[in-house]
Structure 1
Amino acid sequence: MNTRKLVYLFFSTLLIGASSGAVIGVLLDTDTYFGGGFLNFFFGLLWMFGVSAAISLVAQMGYFAYLTLQRLALGLFKSVTLWNRIQVVLVLFVLFDLVYLRYISFAEPGETLAGFMVMPLLLLAYSAVVAFWKRRETNKETFVPALFFMFVVTTIEWVPALTVDVVNDTKWLWIYVTPLLAANTWQLLLLHRLTGDGRKNAS
């Protein structure tokens, strides 16, 4: 991994995360963006692009923190199998947190637990698809770490949106999570191509 590849990883991730968030932001609030003329649309889109770019920077910091954690954990536990089992437990724990703890903290009268299960389960399903893709392009040992990164790390990065007053505003949850998912997916599936590890890479 040389400097040129690191720069490409940084700016391509920034652009993909910012663009995806801007597009979703406009699509989820068309009346605001298209109801005030061209300048309203332009500056609104520019603002959303900037917000999404900032979120994608969080995703990049999260990814490099995850890579550090992965190496430290493999050195500590001396076993890929043991570390993978721990990661599976953490995935299940975070899934429980996302559903139940958000329900007891933010549910309003009349809301059910099922309503708080939709987005976490969609996130888990998406994470599993990306992890399978990573496994197919590298090797079978990468599935659990990829699932852990896409689900657990993305959730940690998503925490600011999950804990603010607009937590039940689905629009803002999607606006915040979209750049994270786009950036994290891109980083996860690009790194082994940049390093040339391919099926030799187990992280």
Structure 2
Amino acid sequence: MKSRDIVRLFFSTLLLGAVATLITSFFVKAGSYKEFLQPLDVFEVFGLLLFFTALGFVFSLISQMGFFAYLTINQFGLSMFKGFWSPIQIILIAFTLFDLVYFRFRADESDTSLITYIIVALAIFIYGWIVSGIKAKETNRKAFVPALFFMVVVTAIEWVPGIRTSGGDYAWLMIVPLLICNTYQLLVLHRLTNKTAISDNKKNSK
């Protein structure tokens, strides 16, 4: 992949994270906006928009760091464990889903129901399964498990700062842009590498 493609991926993901966070904030932090809309305080509303946009940049950077860490870990796992790497990833996916339910429920001091944690973990898993299916369809079947590992395990690790905040607002505010940015990076990567390969083949054929 060419350097300009890497730069384009970086900035497009950065913008996507900002937009996703800003839109999510309208639902998750609606009370904060209403506070300055009645009566209208333009400067405070503008400040909120800037704050959530900047927060989106941070979430996007976390997503991008996780993505490139995943690429490194995947290559290391393939070279180290070879044919055992896929079963190991499946075990880690199962453990992560268990952690998202059981350990979060045990650590939670609020009255949040266990069902809520089950639904959240299941939603992340189903979403990851759909995205991984698209990835496998567009590339090859062997890409399914690594893609699911990234969408579930890596996203859960990236989400840790949001999970540890008091209250659930920032946890919800963080998970949406993380999933969107991770999905975008996962599905656009092979398009960029394929484009580079086609371009190199054309140059070599001249």
Q: Does TM-score exceed 0.5, indicating one fold? A: yes
Q: Which residue of 2 aligns with 1:131?
A: 132
User: How far apart in 1 are the matches of 2:136 and 2:161?
Assistant: 30
- What is residue 163 of structure 1 aligned with on the other side? 164
**Equivalences for residues 98-113 of structure 1 within 5 A:** 98-108=100-110, 111-113=112-114
With normalisation by structure 1, the TM-score equals 0.89
Distance 2:86 2:2 in 1: 29
Which deviations, in whole Å up to 9, do the C-alpha atoms of 1:13-72 show, x marking residues without a partner? Answer: 111011101110122223422442232222211110101110110110000000000111
Question: Does 2:129 match 1:117?
Answer: no
Distance change (3 Å), C-alpha of 1:34 and 1:108: closer
TM-score with structure 2 setting the length: 0.88
What is the alpha-carbon distance in structure 1 between the residues aligned to residue 172 and residue 166 of structure 2?
15
Of the candidates 183, 187, 190, which is equivalent to residue 189 of structure 1? 187
- Residues 60-103 of structure 1: CA deviation (Å, up to 9, x unaligned): 00000000001111111122xx2111101100001001100011
Write the distance in 2 (CA, Å) between the matches of 1:129 and 1:75. Answer: 27
CA contact (8 A) 1:34 1:41 kept: no
Taking the aligned partners of 1:165 and 1:9, their CA distance within structure 2 comes to 33
2:178 corresponds in structure 1 to 180
Distance 1:12 1:197 in 2: 17
Specify every segment of 5 or more residues in structure 1 that has no aligned partner in the other structure, as ranges: 199-203
Matched with 1:201 is none
Identity of aligned residues (%): 41
In structure 2, C-alpha distance between the alignment counterparts of 1:4 and 1:85, rounded to whole Å: 36
Partners of 1:28 and 1:115 lie apart in 2 by 17
Structure 2 unmatched runs, 5+: 197-206
Q: 1:197 to 1:83 in 2, by over 3 A?
A: farther
Tell me the amino acid that sits aligned with residue 5 of structure 2: K
CA distance in 1, matches of 2:129, 2:108: 27
Distance 2:195 2:98 in 1: 34
8 Å CA contact 2:165–2:171 kept in 1: the answer is no
Change (3 A) 1:197 1:150: farther
Give me the whole-angstrom Cα distance separating, in 2, the residues matched to 1:115 and 1:64: 31
1:172 Cα deviation after fit:
2.0
> SS where residue 159 of structure 2 aligns?
helix
- How many pairs are equivalent? 192
Q: What CA RMSD, in Å, does the superposition of the two structures yield over aligned residues?
A: 1.6
Q: Which has the larger radius of gyration?
A: 2
Q: Distance in 2 between the 1:164 and 1:15 partners?
A: 24
Distance between the aligned counterparts of 2:57 and 2:15, measured in 1? Answer: 7
- Could you say if the C-alpha distance between residues 113 and 31 of structure 1 is closer, same or farther in structure 2, counting changes exceeding 3 Å? closer
